[in-house]
Amino acid sequence: MPLLALLGMIIVIPLTQSSGWRILEYRGIPPHRVAFTSAGLTIAVDRSASPIARPLDAPRRIVGLQARGRVTGVLATTAREQGTSGHDDFVLRIGLVEAGAKRPNALQRRLAPPWVRQLFALAPPGAGIAQIRFFNVGLESSQRGWTRRHPKSELLSEKIVTAPDDAGRFEIDVRMDPLEVLAVWLAADGDDTGSRFEVLLEHLQLVSE
C-alpha cells in the first residue's frame, strides 16, 4: 500500500464516466476530443486546448495526489524550451483548485474570459479561490522540481513532478502541506506547438487530511 494511503482518507476521482465532469473551452482555440471509457479518461489533442474540471462534493483538506497514465504521440518541443513563449504546452497538468479570498466583482466577471468565470463558479456561494496549483508531466526527468507562477495569470502556479518513460507511461505521487481544495482541473495542451498526441489518465486520487 502506498505511504500516502496511510495518511488519511482516499478520494478516488472517477474517470470512466462523464457524470460530474465539466468539459470547458477557451475562446478561439479548438477543443479536445474527450472520452470516458472502461480504461479511463482519454484526451485526444490536435493542436488544441480545453480544460476539464470536476468539483469535489465539498471542500476537502488535501495532503496528497496520485495519478498514473500513458501518453501516445509527441509534444513538439524540447525540455529546454517547454513553458516559454510559443512552447507553453504540457501533455498533462493536474490542477487542484485551492479555496481562497479572490472573488471577481461584477465588472470583472463581465470582462473575464469564460474559463476564468467557470473557474470562480467552482467555489461555493459566497466563497472564493486562491489559485489552481498544477502538478505537471514534463518531457524529461531532469525537469522535475521546476516551478513557476504562470506569466499570464496570477491564478496559476505550476510544478513539474514527473515525466513519461520510454513507453509513454507516467506516475504522479506527491505530498503537500494541507490545501483546502474545491475541484480538480485537468489541462493538456497542444495549441502553442501545433502538437498532436493522446493522453490516457487511468487513475487519479487525492488524499484528504
Residue with the bigger pLDDT between 116 and 174: it is 174
Query: CA-CA distance, 157 to 53, in Å (whole number)?
Result: 17
For 24-43, how does the pLDDT look when each residue is reduced to its tens digit (9 = 90+)? 999 899 999 999 999 999 99
Position 7 confidence tier, pLDDT thresholds 50, 70, 90: low
Q: Please count the structural domains in the chain.
A: 1
For 77-110, how does the pLDDT look when each residue is reduced to its tens digit (9 = 90+)? 999 999 999 999 999 999 999 999 988 887 777 8
Residue 4: the pLDDT is 45
Q: Which residue's C-alpha cell is 495518511?
A: 7
Rg (CA), the chain: 16
pTM for the complete prediction?
0.92
Residue 1: the pLDDT is 45
CATH number, domain at 125? Answer: 2.60.120
Cβ neighbours of residue 73 closer than 8 Å, sequence gap 6 or more: 45, 195, 196, 197, 198
Q: Give the three-class secondary structure for 111.
A: helix
CA distance readout (Å), 54 to 79, 151, 185: 29, 25, 7
Domain limits for position 111 = 3-208
- Of 81, 203, 189, the closest CA to residue 137 belongs to 189
